[in-house]
Amino acid sequence: MVMQGITLVISPLISLMKDQVDALNEIGIPACLINSTLSTMEYRNVIQRAMDGSYKLIYVAPERLSSYDFIELCNQIDVAMVAVDEAHCVSQWGHDFRPSYTFIDDFIKRLPTRPVVCAFTATATPRVKEDIEKLIGLYSPYTITTGFDRPNLYFEVEKPKHKFDWVLRYLHAHKEESGIIYCATRKTVDALVDKLRAKGIDAAKYHAGLSEHERAMYQDDFLYDRRTIMIATNAFGMGIDKSNIRFVLHYNMPKNMEGYYQEAGRAGRDGVASNCILLYSAADIMTNRLLIENASNTVDLSGEYEKLNQMVDYCNTEGCLRNYILRYFGEHPDKLCDHCGNCNSEVEQRDITIEAQKILSCIKRMQERFGMVMVVEVLKGANTQKVKQFGFNTLSTYGLMKDYHKDTIKEMISFLIAEKYIDLDGDKFPVLRLNPSAYEVLKGHKTVNMRINMSKATEDTKLMKEVLPIDHELVGELKEVRREIAAIQHVPPFMIFSDATLNEMGMYYPTSEVEMLAISGVGKIKYDKYGVRFEEVIRQYVVAHDIEKPEVKMVEVTVPKEEKILGPNKVSVQNKDKHVDKKDTVLVTYELYQEGYSIEEIAQMRGLTRFTVENHLVSCVARDLTIDFEPFMTKEQERLIQEAIQQVGITLLKPIKELLPEEVTYTAIKLVIEKYKKEGSTNI
């Protein structure tokens, strides 16, 4: 507005243009649009008013830039600025390449005088940024990058066996929330909508196969909360300004990170905590390869396949999901986010070297000419015509993993792809090829450790608690505590503990760390943050109501062989000490520690992680068993921990940790807390 003349805004979407022009005119800024929706009379009227100087902004589709009439118009008006929206569309390395954007540089050169040129994008990698500068003709531009991080978004990758069942449970748990579910194809959108409606969920839908009237109707229903759920392809969302979207689910893996982050970023625009959850399956890889192959405007197929591989890596990475995204877009995070599915999950390192050798050997013996599905069939010992046709039933690797669930084998292969042991080669039909690092594994020179998410894994054998009545009065008090913590931290209550977790607390009255960690949904990370506060509420409730805590009976449940997920000898962590009753496991650790074994030695002997052993020792202090603090902290560090506790209390561990030197561990903090709780210190 401070410049003389007219600003041309180049925008790719008609609906986006109209919304922005309407909004500008509403606040008194004269604006118009020129696109294919105008009649001949309307177009002539806009041209005349533009020549009369009636507008400050003219929105135009990029296709119009090659029109002789439009170029003549621009030669007769004072174009002071050209603003390019969604500038990543100019790059073949961008996720939404549009050939019409390549007209921009030539159009600008045809103007009588060069205007100010600016370009805007929310999703551009360093390579795309270079293309924008070069292809739009920006000369030594002043660049502003606001950063890609959206701290209120919680990223997670799920790998459910039955996606629809997972979605149904999620929607029932978030009935009052508004959300988008993205699908890869129109067919999937229609099928998902039909299945949800059959279950009583009246979702809106949006894809290019619907009529303009249907798209507008469903879009308005969603925007005005007449329907809270939108099922859509990636045709939906650009220009949609709905701030209270609480979740974005991806029913299928998108084909590139730019598209995923743009779609996921439609959640939580009001700054409130929101979920971005991707439901991954290996079948998504083939679906996306077919979409890439059939895309008419895709020139550099190899580049598109590389982007797809990076999405596969994202879905299988063991690292921080937020950091993966930020690094993809050229940022350099220096610490874990502590707020994504990977950072917050309870995991165990599992040595899968033997399994990896079987998989890699099978790929090699199949001459590295087949994809994941065929490799899995051979490893499972499938008696199919195709397997016999190629003679794979005679290979030494045939049936080598018959006791494993096929989904587990696929997950391991996906992991080996993400860790660069296996390469995906080929275009339309990807085949598995061994990376040089794979041969180090085959020769036994390298081990492969895969992190298993213990909160999601299905074990062959697991200990199930006896189901007891729920104390609803206690659960009500726990929900009030949850609500208070959630309000302070500005997160939805379910992100503290789910209702199911609180109900289980209402069955078993956990009042110690060991008991709390045995509750479903309470892992180490959440215990460190919130566990002590909930323990105290339960402890006071038990005393006030003179409740005798039930003895938890453990019942062993064996999953049928056909449904094995972790394979032979891969039992649950809870069941590693199969000759020891669960209630005595802390004492077993204590006895070994008193005999002089180190934490590492105990962990190896018992098949536990280091932090589990350390937690056992913390519980020993709570039981009045003697533990030498010297291996964990110096006397000075113990004094500093006590001072920190006096300042911030013991409700959360993180505030205590932040007041202490970096070398002081969480285990040391927990030991001191238990010591002073047992001594009845008034300082905490």
In tens, the pLDDT along 399-428 reads 999 888 888 898 899 889 878 899 877 655
Q: Answer yes or no: is pLDDT of 565 > 60.
A: no
Determine the pLDDT at residue 681: 52
Q: For domain 348-453, give its CATH number from 3.30.70.3270, 1.10.10.10, 3.30.70.270, 3.40.1440.10.
A: 1.10.10.10
The CATH number that domain 6-136 falls under is 3.40.50.300
Q: Is pLDDT above 70 for 552?
A: no
Indicate if the pLDDT at residue 461 is higher than 60. no
The larger pLDDT score, comparing residue 71 to residue 495, is at 71
Q: pLDDT class for 463, splitting at 50, 70, 90? A: very low
CA distance 82 to 58: 10
Q: Does 548 score more than 80 pLDDT?
A: no
Greater confidence, 77 or 678? Answer: 77
Residue pointed to by tokens 């603090």: 629
Superfamily of domain 461-544: HRDC domain (1.10.150.80)
More confident call, 188 vs 493:
188
* pLDDT for residue 682 is more than 50: no
Q: What is the pLDDT of residue 571?
A: 30
Structure tokens at 91: 């790059």
Please report the pLDDT score of residue 553 as a whole number: 43
Check whether 465 has a pLDDT greater than 60.
Answer: no
The number of CA neighbours under 13 Å toward the Cβ of 662 is: 0
Highest mean pLDDT, choosing among 550-554, 565-569, 571-575, 609-613: 609-613
CB proximity list for 618: less than 8 A, separation 6 or greater: 513, 667, 670, 671, 674
The domains of the chain are located at 6-136, 153-344, 348-453, 461-544, 569-678
Judged by DSSP in three states, 630 sits in coil
pLDDT higher than threshold 80 for residue 164:
yes
Mean pLDDT computed over 21-30: 81
Report if pTM > 0.75.
Answer: no
**Strand 57-60 with 31-34, pairing:** parallel
CATH architecture of 153-344: 3-Layer(aba) Sandwich (3.40)
113-117, 189-193, 621-625: lowest mean pLDDT where?
621-625
109 Cβ contact partners less than 8 Å away, ≥ 6 residues apart: 137
- Tell me the helices (H) and strands (E) count for the chain, helix number first: 29, 17
Reply yes or no on whether the pLDDT at 187 is more than 80: yes
Whether the predicted pLDDT of 23 surpasses 80: no
Give the model's pLDDT for residue 555: 41
Determine the pLDDT at residue 539.
Answer: 92
The most confident of the ranges 331-340, 363-372, 500-509 is: 363-372
SS3 75: helix
Query: How does the average pLDDT of the chain come out, rounded?
Result: 82
> Token digits for 197?
């409606």
Alpha carbons 359 and 374: distance in angstroms, whole number:
12
Give the number of residues written for the chain: 684
* pLDDT score, position 651: 66
Contact present, 59 and 11 (Cβ < 8 Å): yes
Q: Give the range with max mean pLDDT: 230-239, 453-462, 566-575, 651-660.
A: 230-239
pLDDT value for 618: 86
Q: Do 348-453 and 461-544 fold alike per CATH?
A: no
Structure confidence by residue, pLDDT tens digits, 277-292? 999 987 888 788 878 8
In contact, 325 and 261? CB cutoff 8 Å: yes
In the structure encoding, which two tokens stand for residue 237, read together?
Answer: 């969302």
Return d(Cα 618, Cα 627) in angstroms, integer.
9
pLDDT higher than threshold 60 for residue 458: no
How far apart CA 428 and CA 173 sit, in angstroms, is 39
pLDDT the model gives residue 250: 98
> Which of 141-150, 172-181, 215-224, 368-377 bottoms out in mean pLDDT, i.e. has the lowest?
141-150
Taking residue 270's Cβ as centre, other Cβ atoms within 10 Å add up to 12
Q: What DSSP string describes 401-465?
A: TTTS-HHHHHHHHHHHHHTTSEEEE-SSS-EEEE-HHHHHHHTTSS--EEEEETTT---SEEEEE
